[in-house]
Amino acid sequence: MVNIKVGDTVPAGKFATVYYSPELESHSACGAPSKLTTDAFKGKKVVIFAVPGAFTPSCHANHLPPYAAHSADFAAKGVDTVYVLSNNDPFVLSGWTRVQGVADKIVSLTDIDTAWSKALGLTADLSGAGIGLGQRTTRYALVLDDNKVTYLGVEEDPTQVTVSGAEAVLAAL
């Protein structure tokens, strides 16, 4: 059950990330994880789109690439940072964004134990998928302005990218 709506302030959350640096381009380095919290979003306009998993079909082919392709469009609409969120570990998310050529256009966030998405009511049990996916973030997008939700797009079917996609979020800005 979704516990957040437009107009709400998001609950506090803790995340892990491996920030992009040119040293990571050789793929021989992993980077060092950093921690950040929802305090990083204060006073800013941010877009957060959540994916069930890095390197999974819809996430890899249909969700992340349009956000990277439209990064300048988001900036032109006043977005300070675009984040991709998943419960994958920060090393996997860093590797995924590097394989996708995202560089510093998008910051990847690990939703540790899906705790933040659980607080939002935005998780999916994908145990029945038959491939061991377990509890995941569901597919959604948020626009936050000083930690207040101004857009929320939650996919009814987490294999689809419609209301959480880059084009839908851009249209709502």
30 is catalytic: no
DSSP assignment letter at 12: P
Structure tokens at 125: 């049990």
27-61: burial string, b at 16+ Cβ within 10 Å, e else: eeeebebeebebebbeeebbbbbbbbbbebebbbe
Choose the catalytic residue: 59, 64, 109, 169.
59
Rounded distance between C-alpha atoms, residue 15 and residue 101, angstroms: 22
Region of residue 55 (phi > 0: left; psi between -120 and 50: alpha; otherwise: beta): left
Point out the residues that are catalytic: 59
